[in-house]
């Protein structure tokens, strides 16, 4: 028995020594550039909080924003961890370095294994690289057209008008327990019609389609709300369904897949092609127009792409608007300025049209400032395909050349960039005006950067500006007063409402607001 224990200890010590030597070689390979040295990676979702020497923390990008770069003295910070595999990662808050890396796709490709979890219903533009990405982008990009943007605007107006007229009605005051409970269904109904060509209303009471257990609306809502279950739960656990929530999600996930494949079949079998500009129809039309059979997307790729557009367009916009309404409630002077601006553009009592969007500059500025302060995705990964170097800077204007061995990971640290005082004066302040004049576009990447930037950016901006403008024009947004919090200071209230968590994207945990008719 003692011999077995001795052998086990010897093996363990040899393994520990091997890992230590690998770790030291990795640190030496980057010339010990300042940063974190830890056992576990910051990408481990089970290690959310920072434990010095153990993990930088999965949520640390949002929690510390630009502070880690201040502490390191450079806007590029290294992270070297030893288990399960010794790896070097550079976190980037330097706009010049980010621009160079984002634009050099061949030298700094996506680490595709980190994106496989986003395959969901099939291969898509997000999880591919090289020629495969080019093939999918060639067919996907035309779907995001001006005609689709106009459809987004018009349908947003329809959804908001339905909310005002048929749900809120004549009420002078509407209380919302959590602002996400309002913004998520708004975004869902808009993506339903502008993404899938399926109109849904607030009072939709139709039953499931023949052969289905859930309505399209219910399946879409459940999947979009609980998609994180697909990320964190293995397939066998989803099928087992140990809780009612997991069982319902598993059913909804299967139902939505059947609905989408049914839509593809119906469109292909239709003798008369309607002229429609929703993303699904545009994607199918572009695919059918491809004369080269090798370029065409399979049914699984069509469904995979439209679903990834759903997630990108629905959840990010819904959560960004939630933060926007919270900030306007906290800063009534900014809200009043926004109201006067909107009223100046749409001053005759009419509904705003898509042609008004370019004039609603302050609405766009408020939306952008929210995206700057609350970027939906806190880390965008890249990887070096070769031995190379990058140049880093700091607040003192100094520059240094950083060694990058082949296989080194990068993380575009969105909060670190967006809160970097080199680019954003007083970065922790809510100042939409900073987006009205010249502003540092290379230091703003809520939609990623370079050729791989989000195709749906204009879709999201159009939806966001339309919702924001129409709602602020009709209602004043305030924080709901809580009797047990009457002695709460402004800073305490702000911290409570902006307390955030991360699932697929960043979102507020609980923010009760009140909408009062103007």
Cα-Cα end-to-end distance for the chain:
81
Chain centre distance of CA 430: 20
Q: How far is CA 509 from CA 87, 227, 493, in A?
A: 33, 17, 13
Beta bridge partners of 413: 379
Task: Return d(Cα 296, Cα 288) in angstroms, integer.
Answer: 8
CA distances from 365 to 37, 156, 173, 354, 471 (A): 39, 19, 27, 17, 16
DSSP-assigned beta bridge partners for residue 175: 514
Q: CA of 398: how far to CAs of 70, 335, 392, in Å? A: 13, 40, 8
H or E element in which residue 507 lies: strand 506-508
What six digits make up the tokens of 185?
Answer: 């269904």
Maximum CA pair distance of the chain? 90
91 touches 112 (CB < 8 A): no
Please report, in range form, the residues annotated as the binding site for heme: 454
Q: How many residues does the chain have?
A: 518
* 41 close to 57: Cβ distance less than 8 angstroms: no
What token pair was written down for 129? 């690289």
Residues 6+ apart with CB under 8 A from 245: 226, 229
Which CA distances in Å does 7 have to 3, 86, 348?
A: 6, 25, 85
Locate 489 and state its tokens. 């200071």
User: Residues near 189 by Cβ (< 8 Å), separated by ≥ 6?
Assistant: 159, 200, 201, 202
Binding positions:
454
CA dihedral 227, 232, 236, 239 (to 10 degrees): -30
| Pairing mode of beta strands 379-383, 173-176 | unpaired
Q: Structure tokens of 497?
A: 């409402």
Judge contact between 512 and 482, C-beta under 8 A: yes
């Amino acid at each position: 028995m003692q011999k077995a224990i001795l052998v086990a200890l010897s093996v363990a010590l040899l393994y520990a020594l091997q890992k230590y030597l690998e770790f030291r070689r990795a640190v030496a390979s980057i010339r010990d550039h300042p940063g974190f040295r830890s056992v576990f990676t910051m990408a481990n979702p089970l290690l959310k909080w920072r434990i010095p020497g153990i993990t930088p923390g999965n949520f640390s990008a949002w929690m510390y924003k630009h502070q880690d770069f201040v502490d390191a003295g450079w806007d590029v910070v290294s992270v070297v961890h030893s288990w399960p595999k010794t790896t070097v990662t550079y976190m980037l808050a330097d706009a010049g370095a980010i621009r160079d890396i984002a634009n050099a796709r061949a030298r700094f490709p996506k680490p595709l294994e980190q994106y496989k979890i986003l395959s969901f219903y099939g291969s898509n533009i997000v999880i591919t690289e090289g020629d495969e990405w080019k093939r999918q982008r060639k067919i996907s990009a035309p779907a995001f057209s001006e005609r689709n943007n106009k459809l987004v605007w018009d349908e947003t107006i329809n959804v908001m008008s339905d909310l005002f007229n048929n749900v809120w009605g004549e009420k002078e005051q509407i209380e919302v327990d959590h602002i996400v409970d309002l913004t998520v269904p708004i975004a869902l109904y808009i993506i339903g019609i502008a993404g899938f060509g399926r109109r849904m209303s607030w009072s939709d009471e139709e039953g499931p389609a023949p052969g289905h257990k859930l309505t399209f609306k219910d399946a879409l809502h459940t999947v979009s709300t609980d998609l994180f279950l697909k990320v964190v739960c293995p397939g066998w656990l989803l099928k087992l369904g140990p809780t009612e929530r997991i069982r319902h999600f598993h059913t909804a996930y299967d139902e939505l897949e059947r609905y989408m494949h049914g839509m593809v079949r119906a469109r292909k079998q239709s003798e008369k092609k309607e002229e429609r500009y929703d993303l699904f129809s545009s994607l199918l039309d572009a695919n059918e127009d491809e004369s080269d059979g090798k370029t065409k997307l399979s049914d699984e790729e069509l469904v995979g792409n439209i679903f990834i557009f759903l997630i990108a367009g629905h959840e990010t916009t819904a959560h960004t608007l939630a933060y926007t309404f919270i900030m306007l409630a906290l800063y009534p002077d900014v809200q009043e300025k926004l109201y006067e601006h909107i009223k100046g553009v749409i001053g005759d009592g009419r509904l705003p049209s898509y042609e008004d969007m370019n004039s609603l500059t302050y609405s766009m500025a408020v939306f952008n400032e929210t995206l700057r302060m609350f970027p939906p995705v806190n880390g965008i990964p890249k990887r070096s395909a070769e031995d190379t170097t990058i140049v880093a800077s700091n607040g003192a204007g100094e520059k240094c050349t950083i060694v990058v061995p082949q296989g080194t990971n990068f993380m575009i640290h969105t909060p670190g960039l967006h809160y970097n005082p080199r680019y954003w004066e007083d970065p922790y302040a809510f100042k939409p005006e900073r987006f009205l004049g010249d502003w540092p576009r290379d230091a703003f990447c809520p939609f990623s950067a370079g050729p791989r930037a989000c195709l749906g950016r204009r879709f999201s901006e159009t939806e966001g500006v339309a919702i924001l403008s129409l709602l602020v024009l009709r209602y004043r947004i305030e924080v709901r007063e809580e009797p047990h919090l009457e002695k709460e200071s402004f800073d305490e209230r702000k911290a409570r409402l902006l307390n955030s968590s991360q699932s697929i994207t960043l979102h507020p945990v609980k923010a009760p607001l009140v909408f009062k008719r103007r």
